[in-house]
A = this chain, B = another copy of it.
Amino acid sequence: MRLQIYGVEGLPEIAAGDDLARLISDAADLADGDVVVVTQKIVSKAENAMVAVDPDEPLSHKPVVERESVRVLRRRGDLVISETKHGFVCANAGVDRSNVAADRAAVLPDDPDRSAWRIRNGIRAKAGVDVGVIVSDTFGRPWRRGVTDVAIGSAGVRPILDLRGTSDASGRELQVTEVAIVDELAAAADVVMGKAENIPVAVIRGVNPAWLGPGSIQANVVRPPADDLFR
List residues of A whose CB falls within 8 A of some B CB. 1-7, 74, 76, 81, 83, 87-89, 96-102, 138, 141-150, 159-161, 163, 166-170, 172-176, 178-181, 183-185, 187-188, 190-192, 194-198, 207, 220-223, 227-231
Contact = CB atoms under 8 A, between A and B. Distances in A.
A173 to B, nearest CB: 8
B223 A143 contact: yes
Given A196-B163, A196-B166, A229-B142, A2 B3 contact: no
A166 B196 CA distance: 8
Contacts of A81: 229
B196 A2 contact: no
Shortest Cβ-Cβ A-B pairs, 8 listed? A146-B180, A188-B188, A142-B230, A169-B198, A187-B187, A184-B187, A74-B229, A89-B143
B223 A145 contact: yes
A206 to B, nearest CB: 8
A143 B3 contact: no
A175 B96 contact: yes
14 contacts: A1-B6, A3-B6, A74-B230, A87-B143, A98-B168, A99-B168, A102-B172, A138-B179, A144-B180, A144-B221, A145-B178, A181-B191, A185-B191, A188-B188
Contacts of A169: 99, 196-198
A73 to B, nearest CB: 8
Given A145-B220, A168-B195, 4 more contacts: A74-B230, A96-B175, A99-B170, A143-B223
Contacts of A172: 97-100, 102
Contact of A5 (B176, B178, B181, B188): B188
B146 A160 contact: yes
A228 B97 contact: no
Contact of A142 (B1, B145, B170, B228): B228
A62 to B, nearest CB: 13
Nearest to A142: B230
A148 B187 contact: yes
Nearest to A99: B168
